Amino acid sequence: MITTPYFRLRSSVRTLNRVCFALVVAAALSLLWADLAVYPVDPWHELARIGRGVILPAWDEPRVLAESLGQTVAFALLAVVLAVPLGLLLAMLFHWRAVRYFCAAIRSVHELFWGLIFMQLYGLSATTGLLAILVPFTGVFAKVFAEIFEQQAHAPGQTLSPSLGTLKRYAYTLIPQSWSALLSYIRYRFECALRSSAILGFIGLPTLGFHLETAFKQGQYSEAGALLWAFVLLIATIRFWMKPVLLPFYIGLAIWLLPETVGFSNGGYLWQFVSVDIWPEPLRDAQWGAALQWYTTMFTDQVWPGLIQTLLLTQIALVLTAVVVLATYPFATRVLGGPLVRWPGRFLLLILRSTPEMVLAFVFLLLFGPSGLPAVLALALHNGGLIAFLVANASDAEAGGRVSRPDDPKGLLRYAYIETPRRFPAMLAFLFYRWEVILRESAIMGILGITTLGFYIDSAFEEIRYDRAFLLIAVTAILNILVDATSRRLRLMAHADTARR
Amino acid sequence: MSDQQVLFQLSAHSLELGGHTVLDAVSLSIRAGEKVALLGPSGAGKTTLLNQLYQQCPEQIALQPQGGGLVDLLSVYQNVFIGALDRVGTCAALWNLVRPLRTHRDAITKLTETLGLETKLWHSLDRLSGGQRQRVAIGRALYRQQPVFLGDEPVSSVDPLQAQMLLDYLLQQHETAVVSLHNRRLALEHFDRIIVMRDGRICCDRAATELDSEALDAFYQESSSPESEQPAPSETGWAITAS
Amino acid sequence: MSFLSRAMAVVMLALPTFALADTFVFTAIPDADESRLQQRFGKVADYLSEQLNVDVQYIPVKSYAAAITAFRNDQVQLAWFGGLSGVQARRLVPDSEALAQGYEDQFFKSYFIAHESAGMEAGESLSDALKGKTFTFGSKGSTSGRLMPEFYLREQFGAAPEEIFSRVGFSGDHSRTIAQVQSGAYQIGAVNFAVWEKELEEGKIDTNKVKVIWTTPTYPDYQWTIRGDVDARFGAGFKEKVRQVLLNMNDPDLLASFPRKSFVPASNDDYGPIESTAKAIGLLD
């Protein structure tokens, strides 16, 4: 159908600007209340040690390193291999409201928290690790697959009999139509799964994070450096070793590499967990007054203050992420960076997105002292590096294509007049997707003494108070779902979708 | 003919899309057995009208939308096979993606011979030319094996001789057909009823025998307007600007 | 575990993995140096296995909470807990019992340490100069890094830590606490005395930058705790046997993993004060 692009463009730019303006104003308002104090510190001794460790990595047990690398990949690979078909099935049913809510609920809980929950049920085991990645990833796959399907042309579907079953319809039209989009998204999520798998080491699974956390905690920075480099290398080389032909072989290898479960036998614990542990005692005893009292106290002491802190941090981190993206992506593109700058630029983005936020947050804590500032910086750099990488890739994919002209301006002018306007809608879309993620991640910054929701959730697990943990996780999940819905609305309003609509 | 059942019925039907009137008080009735050609300049509402008709009894219709509704990643065989999906069980349909089903393989091989595509049977669609793609789309419509054919410019990209032959074949295989065309001669030679549209309205609806080329040309000239063709912005490469 | 049973773990995610009923499993998180746990405690497992005549395995965990969880759902039957985590674990598993504690754990203590910028001097008691400073505990579930320091802060000031200090963080670990206070990221910190002494000895601490300003009274800390149902599973008298084997552990190489001089008998009652302290500050109901 013929549209009038000029009119559309003008109106969509106006909405786009309005949405961006609203976000910046919200972040500026958050600055007024957010706790971003800078404390005088004396970090150079410790920072020098960290620097030495990163420059001179050392690891004297290659076997342990290889094993944990292997297990990091094994968890990620198996979880993705299982989550993709499940996500696909749910995406086909995404027109059911119940399915949409279910997916929103399972993806709104951070992998670490899923890990902590499944650990109550399955102990420290391969099952726990797999489920911790598998469950939220299934929710994410379902949502994104459904969105990809929505963007496909309707014509092929129209040539089918209207009474055709869903499975056949998808197998012959929507899935092959969107095949390359699905594959590239799965590839991207596999990288995310590797990060999640590494991070799960923080709670005890035998992946890279296990050793990284220990090395960092004990101040053994050259070991931490070696682990970080190993992880960066793993991420950087994915496209060289992750060949579809080798997938069956890798799956077999991954199953063989899974850690064995030691001594876990109590399977009857599930019922106890869902029926007793996660409910406050007064509620279980049907003392309604006391139960109300319990919830009120929780709300005023933890839920409300945690909610405010989380939202303030998220809002600032979101806008700062956009700044990081705009500042870094040109260095990693073919047309703006050029051959000399592009590889260092890509390397910088690789480092930013491969370094866990916790590590970044710790370095900034040493630099600026304890406040929201290290958290905001860590979140913005990590997520900014990730989005800038995706934006730069999109630019490279277009370089030399139909839309480029030999008389295009160069350098800064090209950045301002050609590349940034072209990338902006997609960048905004990525940013909105990451909003949810930033929200989830801002919850894990307890070391900074910032009482986000995640701080209280972590405390509840430490104190073995699953009733509190459950309530707080539920609140976080609801908040996530709200943010998700808001970001979807804003995305539609700003026409930020990369596809036509 | 008048004793045949009425398949499509529109009375003073109007439709607005995005503030534009695309169908303006269209009244129309088409009976089973009729072969109707739909003419008119671009933007006259032919595609919209076909879509309205499709919605009236989708389960009896083999539809060939503009562009064919093809799936690029799949082979010619699979794209034609899609027409038979409602005749095959789910498991068999899924298995067919891995290994073509024998009976369908034979039937579709035969069909592609008629279409002149026998050497391309296992090529994926993105490797084909525009004319070849259109023949695949025709193949799918034929393989739907429905009594009614609705085609939106079904032969616009194939060469004139082939267009004649394919159109003949399509009309022979379907009891009823409503086909939009831009070639007036094809309309006059192959169809028994011609409807001309302009600005969302039906401005002529007569038996083909009552019309000739010149009479049809008149409808086009009256309405030809400069803004009707608009180049897609992404197609204006630098070569055009430079010339 | 064979390839097959690993594959089963993948296929039947919803089902619990298979039990290795005849293996006696323990876990331990030492208060200092958590690196190479598997190698160091593998040796302890070998010693226990040899002495007890059962298959013994060690699994490493990352936090007290994970240790308690594993103990509760019977993934481990024996654990080297901190004072507080032992109390929490024994409340969750009926009939479980403290068997032995480290020699040093009979009179454990915590240090309050300060960065030089805080301008604090060592004193007999916690002074009002602490007010408004930034402060970090160790791990949230630690006895020496959290529970006892918080108890004495509340006793001295009659207020919660968040009201005394301008900011309260949880470094997650004693070594981190020292590093963060030494770098000035936090001005004050509370730390396990044994870790401080060890790092001082190893030359990791610059006493011009960070020093001890107060020492808590002594309290009981780390102990071995065993599940009550081990006798039923591994034979009558098994619990006593484990206690004896732990008390007889005198190989310095094994003891260095904890690190403790030796183990001495302990009972649940020894930890009564810890339990009441935890209740007093709201960590236990």
User: Which tens digit of pLDDT belongs to each residue from C183-238?
Assistant: 888 999 999 999 999 899 988 899 999 999 999 999 999 999 999 999 998 989 99
Q: In chain B, which among 223-242 make CB contacts under 8 A with chain A?
A: 230, 233-235, 237-238, 241
Residue A219 and residue C204: Cβ atoms within 8 Å?
A: yes
CA atoms C28, C32, C38, C43: torsion sign: negative
Query: Would you place residue C8 in the very low, low, confident or very high pLDDT band (cuts 50, 70, 90)?
Result: low
Residue B230 and residue A159: Cβ atoms within 8 Å?
A: no
Residue A20 has pLDDT above 70, yes or no: yes
Q: In chain A, which among 132-151 make CB contacts under 8 A with chain C?
A: 134
Residues B127 and C26: their CA atoms lie apart, in Å, by 63
Q: Give how far C122 is from chain A: nearest CA, Å.
A: 21
Residues B166 and B190: their CA atoms lie apart, in Å, by 11
- Residue B24 to residues B66, B228, C11: CA-CA distances in angstroms? 22, 18, 60
Q: Give how far B30 is from chain A: nearest CA, Å.
A: 21
Query: Would you place residue A247 in the very low, low, confident or very high pLDDT band (cuts 50, 70, 90)?
Result: very high
**CB < 8 Å to B78, chain A:** 172, 176
Query: Would you place residue C263 in the very low, low, confident or very high pLDDT band (cuts 50, 70, 90)?
Result: very high
Residue B103 in any domain: the answer is yes
pLDDT of amino acid A358: 79
- Helix spans in B15-101 (H): 46-56, 76-81, 90-98
Residues A461 and C69: their CA atoms lie apart, in Å, by 10
**CB < 8 Å to A162, chain B:** 58-59
Look at residues A264, A253, A454, A239 and name the one whose alpha carbon lies nearest to residue A350.
A239
Residue B243 in any domain: the answer is no
Q: What is the mean pLDDT of chain C?
A: 88
Residue A285 has pLDDT above 60, yes or no: yes
**CB < 8 Å to C18, chain A:** 261
End-to-end CA distance of chain C: 41
Does residue B22 sit at the A interface (CB-CB below 8 Å)? no
**CB < 8 Å to C23, chain A:** 262-263
Average pLDDT (C12-36) is 69
Residues A472 and A117: their CA atoms lie apart, in Å, by 13
- pTM value > 0.90: no
Residue with tokens 């918080």: C150
Q: What tens digit of pLDDT does each residue of A28-41 get?
A: 999 888 878 787 77
Residue A496 has pLDDT above 80, yes or no: no
The CB density around residue C46, as the number of other CB atoms within 10 Å, is: 13
- Superfamily assignment of A64-261 in CATH? MetI-like (1.10.3720.10)
Residue A352 has pLDDT above 90, yes or no: yes
Segments of chain C assigned to CATH 3.40.190.10 = 19-105+220-280, 109-215
DSSP letters, C157-217, are: HSS-HHHHSSEEEE-SSHHHHHHHHHTTSSSEEEEEHHHHHHHHHTT---TTTEEEEEEPP
Average pLDDT (A196-216) is 89
Query: Would you place residue C97 in the very low, low, confident or very high pLDDT band (cuts 50, 70, 90)?
Result: very high
C109-215: what fold? D-Maltodextrin-Binding Protein; domain 2 (3.40.190)
Which candidate from A126, A264, A464 shows the least CB-CB separation from C75?
A264
Does residue C57 sit at the A interface (CB-CB below 8 Å)? yes
**CB < 8 Å to A40, chain C:** 117, 184
pLDDT of amino acid B242: 31
Domain containing residue B149: 6-228
Residue B16 sits in a domain of what CATH number? 3.40.50.300
Specify the long-range contacts of residues A57-66, CB closer than 8 Å, at least 24 apart. A57/A222, A57/A223, A57/A225, A57/A226, A57/A228, A57/A229, A58/A222, A58/A223, A58/A225, A58/A226, A59/A222, A59/A223, A59/A226, A59/A227, A59/A230, A61/C36, A64/A211, A65/A211, A65/A226, A65/A227, A65/A230
Residue C9 and residue A261: Cβ atoms within 8 Å?
A: yes
Average pLDDT (C81-107) is 94
Burial class from Cβ neighbours inside 10 Å (0-12, 13-18, 19+) for residue A407 reads exposed
Residues B75 and B99: their CA atoms lie apart, in Å, by 12
Does residue C172 sit at the A interface (CB-CB below 8 Å)? yes
Residues A207 and C195: their CA atoms lie apart, in Å, by 27
pLDDT of amino acid A369: 80
What are the phi and psi torsion angles at B183 (to 5°)?
-90, 110
Average pLDDT (A288-293) is 91
Query: Would you place residue A409 in the very low, low, confident or very high pLDDT band (cuts 50, 70, 90)?
Result: low
The structural domain count of chain B equals 1
Residue A147 has pLDDT above 70, yes or no: yes
Query: Would you place residue A406 in the very low, low, confident or very high pLDDT band (cuts 50, 70, 90)?
Result: low
A/B interface, count of CB pairs below 8 Å: 88
DSSP letters, B50-74, are: HHHHHHHSGGGEEEE-TTTT--TTS
Specify the long-range contacts of residues A25-32, CB closer than 8 Å, at least 24 apart. A26/A315, A27/A315, A27/A316, A27/A318, A27/A319, A27/A320, A30/A311, A30/A312, A30/A313, A30/A315, A30/A316, A31/A316
The first and second tokens of residue A264, run together, are 């876990």
Residue B235 CA, chain-centre distance (Å), reads 25
**CB < 8 Å to A184, chain B:** none
Residue C6 and residue A256: Cβ atoms within 8 Å?
A: yes
pLDDT of amino acid A3: 41
Residues B85 and B90: their CA atoms lie apart, in Å, by 8
pLDDT of amino acid B153: 93
Residues A67 and A48: their CA atoms lie apart, in Å, by 30
Does residue B126 sit at the A interface (CB-CB below 8 Å)? no
Average pLDDT (C15-21) is 47
pLDDT of amino acid B228: 41
Q: Do chains B and C touch (3 or more CB pairs under 8 A)?
A: no
Touching partners of B (3+ C-beta pairs < 8 Å)? A
* Strand extents, DSSP E, A132-284: none
Rounded (5°) CA angle A456-A459-A464: 125
Residues C171 and C17: their CA atoms lie apart, in Å, by 34
Average pLDDT (C33-48) is 86
DSSP letters, C52-87, are: HTSEEEE---SSHHHHHHHHHTTS-SEEEE-HHHHH
Which candidate from C19, C66, C182 shows the least CB-CB separation from A265?
C19
Rounded (5°) CA angle B81-B85-B91: 105
Residue B89's contacts (CB-CB under 8 Å, 6 or more residues apart) are: none
pLDDT of amino acid B237: 33
Query: Would you place residue A2 in the very low, low, confident or very high pLDDT band (cuts 50, 70, 90)?
Result: very low
Amino acid at C128: D
Touching partners of C (3+ C-beta pairs < 8 Å)? A
Radius of gyration in angstroms for the set of CA atoms belonging to chain A, rounded to a whole number: 23
pLDDT of amino acid A19: 82
Residue A159 and residue B93: Cβ atoms within 8 Å?
A: no
- What 3-state class would DSSP assign to B42? coil
Amino acid at C227: R
Residue A361's contacts (CB-CB under 8 Å, 6 or more residues apart) are: A374, A375, A377, A378, A445, A447, A448
pLDDT of amino acid B233: 40
pLDDT of amino acid A402: 56
Q: In chain A, which among 239-268 make CB contacts under 8 A with chain C?
A: 255-256, 258, 260-267
Residue B63 in any domain: the answer is yes
Look at residues C25, C38, C41, C64 and name the one whose alpha carbon lies nearest to residue C257.
C41
Look at residues A376, A386, A378 and name the one whose alpha carbon lies nearest to residue A317.
A376
The first and second tokens of residue A289, run together, are 């007054």
The CB density around residue C121, as the number of other CB atoms within 10 Å, is: 10
Touching partners of A (3+ C-beta pairs < 8 Å)? B, C
Residue A5 has pLDDT above 70, yes or no: no
Residues C170 and C146: their CA atoms lie apart, in Å, by 9
Query: Would you place residue C74 in the very low, low, confident or very high pLDDT band (cuts 50, 70, 90)?
Result: confident
Residues A435 and A59: their CA atoms lie apart, in Å, by 37
Average pLDDT (C93-121) is 93
Q: Give how far C276 is from chain A: nearest CA, Å.
A: 15
Q: Give how far A173 is from chain B: nearest CA, Å.
A: 6
CA atoms A269, A271, A276, A279: torsion sign: positive
Write down the CATH number for the domain with range C19-105+220-280.
3.40.190.10
ipTM of the assembly? 0.86
* DSSP letter (8 states) at residue C143: I
**CB < 8 Å to C206, chain A:** 45
Residue B242's contacts (CB-CB under 8 Å, 6 or more residues apart) are: none
Residues A362 and A215: their CA atoms lie apart, in Å, by 13
Residues B49 and B39: their CA atoms lie apart, in Å, by 11
Query: Would you place residue A441 in the very low, low, confident or very high pLDDT band (cuts 50, 70, 90)?
Result: confident
A298 or A367, higher pLDDT: A298
Does residue C229 sit at the A interface (CB-CB below 8 Å)? no
How does strand B193-198 pair with strand B20-31? Answer: unpaired
The architecture of the domain spanning A26-56+280-501 is Orthogonal Bundle (1.10)
Q: Give how far C182 is from chain A: nearest CA, Å.
A: 8
pLDDT tens by residue, chain B, 243 residues: 456 789 999 998 998 877 788 898 899 999 999 999 999 888 888 999 999 999 898 889 999 998 888 888 888 999 999 988 888 888 898 889 889 999 999 999 999 999 999 898 998 888 888 899 999 999 999 999 999 999 999 999 999 899 999 999 999 999 999 999 988 899 999 999 999 998 889 989 999 888 888 888 888 776 444 444 444 443 333 333 332
Residue C7 has pLDDT above 70, yes or no: no
Residue C62 and residue A210: Cβ atoms within 8 Å?
A: yes
DSSP letters, A77-119, are: HHHHHHHHHHHHHHHHTTTSHHHHHHHHHHHTS-HHHHHHHHH
Residue A151 CA, chain-centre distance (Å), reads 23
Q: Give how far C215 is from chain A: nearest CA, Å.
A: 23
Segments of chain A assigned to CATH 1.10.3720.10 = 26-56+280-501, 64-261
Look at residues C114, C78, C14, C100 and name the one whose alpha carbon lies nearest to residue C227.
C78
Residue A444 has pLDDT above 80, yes or no: no
Does residue C122 sit at the A interface (CB-CB below 8 Å)? no
Residue B93 and residue A402: Cβ atoms within 8 Å?
A: no
